[in-house]
Amino acid sequence: MTTRAATLTAALAAQLATESAPVVPTAPPPETQAPETQAAETQAPETEAQLHTLLARVADGLLVMDEANHITYLSDGLTDLLGNRADIVGRDAIQMIHPDDAPGVRAALANVLARRDGLTTFEFRAECVDGAWRWLEARAANLLADPSVAGIAMNVRDVSERKAIESDLRHRALHDTLTDLPNRTLLEDRLRGAIGRSGRDGRTVTVFFLDLDAFKSINDTLGHAAGDEVLGGIGRRLAAVARGQDTVARYGGDEFVVVLEHDHYEKWIKGFADRLRNVFREPIQAGRELVPMTASFGIASASGGNPSPEGLLRDADAAMYQVKQSGGDGYAFFDDAMVDDELVDLTTD
């Protein structure tokens, strides 16, 4: 370890200790303490081995920047991640940060500059020597006033594995485990966002509520594994029909929901409904069998940001129920008259 590294390590270690140390009663003056106590308190890590151990414990890597964000020092622990020291020292650190994360890093560094003590912790993606973006966590201390450092010292560690686990957990919390489509929670969140945008831009939000016809018979005759295969296949077919900005979700059981944001009229909506119906024209694999499938569709539209997600889903569900009552395999547009079970526009075979 170089003298510079040892100095930086000791300075950052002092900051870490100050940040985390508990408040303890004031010690008596040195002249009242036993000689052996004074010797223990004034002892410093002076050997190369001690300093190396301290650096390993304090940080996965040590990086120092000046006030202009130029890197002035890089420890050996970061060269494997970021590249050769000669290529890194002198660079603007922000240029190595993912563009989406750069504003947050700038704000964090401004906070570091405004503080004269304590640590600021932040996370960001950085471009590494292999060209990949990896998540790093930095704990930064303002040591500009310390002549032995004269910079912003950062304890940097690779947290990519933790971030991947967190991302996977978030995905699982918001997606159906069988189809990998958005689940009800994510659907309602996206629908709420679509309705809010509709209130601002005047576009139409249309919900298609789908329920598979006679699905229970597949589970009863071919088994639940075959039923799961059908649900997975239907989910893939629906997702293939939808546009990139649309949401296709599994609502639960054998029910699916498609959400569209558009500025078209009823004729266009009917055309999209026909495309969804075509998903069921070809039999679908269920175990060793190819089984024909149909579905009942309920359609509800709104604009102006007025309905709630629950209300729009309820209206589409009511329209779907009317199709079921009429024999299934078709679609219907919601009408207020459905509340009283009056006449409704049905399109069925």
What whole-number distance in Å separates Cα of residue 349 and Cα of residue 347? 7
Residue 301 lies inside a defined structural domain of this protein: yes
Number of domains forming the structure of the chain: 2
What whole-number distance in Å separates Cα of residue 205 and Cα of residue 300? 8
Residue 247 lies inside a defined structural domain of this protein: yes
Residue 188 lies inside a defined structural domain of this protein: yes
H-type alpha helices, the chain = 3-20, 35-42, 48-58, 76-82, 85-88, 102-114, 160-174, 184-201, 215-222, 224-241, 266-278, 309-325
Judge if 247 and 274 occupy the same domain.
yes
Judge if 104 and 236 occupy the same domain.
no
What whole-number distance in Å separates Cα of residue 233 and Cα of residue 277? 14
Entry pTM: 0.70
CATH code where residue 13 lies:
3.30.450.20
What whole-number distance in Å separates Cα of residue 231 and Cα of residue 237? 10
Judge if 340 and 196 occupy the same domain.
yes
User: Of 273, 261, 236, 254, whose CA–CA distance to 312 is shortest?
Assistant: 261
Using the 3D structure, point to which of 143, 165, 187 is the last residue of a domain.
Answer: 165
Residue 170 lies inside a defined structural domain of this protein: no
Judge if 22 and 67 occupy the same domain.
yes
Residue 154 lies in domain: 3-165
Indicate if the alpha-carbon torsion angle 315, 316, 317, 320 is positive or negative: positive
244 burial type by CB count under 10 A (0-12 exposed, 13-18 middle, 19+ buried): exposed
Judge if 98 and 64 occupy the same domain.
yes
Per-residue pLDDT tens digits of the chain, which is 349 residues long? 455 555 565 665 555 545 544 333 434 444 445 555 454 444 544 554 554 555 544 447 899 999 999 999 988 888 888 888 888 899 999 999 999 999 999 999 999 999 877 899 999 999 988 889 999 999 999 999 998 899 999 999 999 999 999 999 999 999 999 999 999 999 999 999 999 998 888 899 999 999 999 999 999 999 999 999 999 999 999 999 999 999 999 999 999 999 999 988 889 999 999 999 999 999 999 888 899 999 999 999 998 767 889 999 999 999 999 999 999 999 999 987 776 554 444 444 4
Residue 227 lies inside a defined structural domain of this protein: yes
